[in-house]
Structure 1
Amino acid sequence: MTFHKEGYTSLAICVLFIAVTNALIHYYLPDVTWFVWLWYAVSLFLFITIVQFFRSPSRKLTIDERQVVCPADGKVVVIEETEEGEYFKDKRVQLSVFMSPVNVHVNRNPISGLVKYFKYHPGKYLVAWDPKSSTENERTTTVVAHKSGLEVLYRQIAGALARRIVWYVKEGDRVEQAQQFGFIKFGSRVDVFLPLGSQINVNLNEVVKGGVTVLATLPNVSVEKTEA
């Protein structure tokens, strides 16, 4: 397991805060033993929390051109047919994964292909499980065209705690399935919009892993086409 680059600044601030506060306590309250040990415990908790937030574990990634892999660790909170109004403007199958503060926060490409559309939207910071968060919160929208011609949209959504979204893609990029496309600090959620007819391979409230769990199988994608 490694420490993700997006956490370097947060870790440095945390270590500096711990060092300064411990130095002040030792200078002004050296004889208050119970408080010194209490602050040791608080300092350790803060350090472990930051390391845990920004961990990037090694894992065996799922690579299959016919399938859509999960873009984030978390729990499936939405599986429904809905109208996607930003890019497709028609009906799609939406799957949403809620990322809690204890989940790995790395975001991974569900499929390989060409980035046809990317847009960053400033917005609110509603709690991630609020249905309005998909259209009103700070978010990014990425659309990738699969080699079969099918397109998959995925959206990073900020939440009440997650107030910084990081992305590494732009229109015209070619991306690889299960590789990192971004990071959401301290949780929130990722929505995926699939073509109608996709075979859904997960259930509501199922715990999933980014880059590993298969969310769905794309419709009408033959082995011959994906290997061409």
Structure 2
Amino acid sequence: MAGDLTDNRGRGDAAWGWPPIHPEGRKFGLIAVGISLIFLLLLDWEIVGWPLLALSAGVFAFFRDPERVVPQGDDMIVAPADGLVTLIMQVPPPVELQAPDSQGLPGLGTEPVTRISIFMSVFDVHINRAPVGGIVRRVHYIPGKFMNADLDKASEENERQHVLIERSDGRVIGCTQIAGLVARRIVPFVKPGDIVAVGQRIGLIRFGSRVDVYLPQGTDSKVLLGQRIVAGETVLAEIGKQKLIEGVSQ
């Protein structure tokens, strides 16, 4: 259950259950069901009604919001999204996150850092979570294109939303929600000044997308290119830890 403490020595409880549907998606699922019933019961067009009913189930599944067991540790950065690691690159942070803000609160600077890009297909959970705990310093929305989110240039050209979180030690971690070919809306759950816990839900992207995470200087990724990861559970990195990790696809 949410809020329960578990550990690696068997403490706590675990049981499988149907994941709840996030309130943001219930209206879309109910609309799809309503249209399906019109075709099935009023118009008697089964050839259309049954596929629409199946699509309704898919809509509910897209907005599922399962509980996650979030690792607790001072230096851990956890995955903000479910999906596939498609890019790990050394790049300068986004311009919008580089400089201090009008109140003098720090940005990410201009020096290159490691960016981990996580691609979410329509089959992945699309609830995004905070990679670290702290104070939300920026939520910056930028309109843009809707090209394939798997492309590197989507970080600069697609519709996107930057979130900057300052930890209690003053370090700042940035992540960017990026719309894709199908996605048409980024929905934030937080605003500047909010205090978030690591793994807390911070937003969602409707229908396929990508999330980038910018690691602090001197920090390497603990995940590998091509690895599937789980939001709020997979540890992306440990701050200040640098080590080459190799993997073999099989």
TM-score, normalised on structure 1? 0.87
**RMSD of aligned alpha carbons:** 1.5
The code of the aligned residue for 1:165 comes to I
1:155 touches 1:192 (CA, 8 Å); kept in 2?
yes
Distance 1:192 1:83, change over 3 A: same
Q: Matched residues in 1 for 2:137 and 2:63: separation?
A: 29
Alignment of 1:1-228 (within 5 A): 1-26=19-44, 36=46, 38-39=47-48, 41-86=50-95, 87-88=97-98, 89-219=110-240
Offset, 1:39: 4.2
Q: Matched residues in 2 for 1:125 and 1:43: separation?
A: 25
Q: Matched residues in 2 for 1:115 and 1:54: separation?
A: 24
The code of the aligned residue for 1:183 comes to L
Higher-helix-fraction structure: 1
- The Cα offsets for residues 101-142 of structure 1, whole Å up to 9 and x where unpaired, read as 000000000000111222111111111012221111111101
Q: Matched residues in 2 for 1:207 and 1:11: separation?
A: 27
- Report the number of matched residues: 211
Q: Matched residues in 1 for 2:168 and 2:62: separation?
A: 35
Identity of aligned residues (%): 36
Q: Which residue of 2 aligns with 1:32?
A: none
1:74 touches 1:99 (CA, 8 Å); kept in 2?
yes
Offset, 1:150: 1.3
What SS class does the counterpart of residue 112 from structure 2 fall into? Answer: strand
The code of the aligned residue for 1:191 comes to D
The code of the aligned residue for 2:168 comes to K
Unpaired segments ≥5 residues, structure 1: 30-35, 221-228
Unpaired segments ≥5 residues, structure 2: 1-18, 99-109, 242-250
Q: Matched residues in 1 for 2:206 and 2:85: separation?
A: 19
Offset, 1:59: 2.6
The code of the aligned residue for 2:21 comes to F
- Structure of higher CA gyration radius: 1
2:159 touches 2:179 (CA, 8 Å); kept in 1?
yes
Q: Matched residues in 2 for 1:42 and 1:25: separation?
A: 15
1:65 touches 1:112 (CA, 8 Å); kept in 2?
no
Q: Matched residues in 2 for 1:208 and 1:179: separation?
A: 16
What SS class does the counterpart of residue 52 from structure 1 fall into? Answer: helix
Offset, 1:62: 2.1
Offset, 1:44: 3.5
Higher relative contact order (CA 8 A, sep 6+): 1
Q: Matched residues in 2 for 1:110 and 1:44: separation?
A: 36
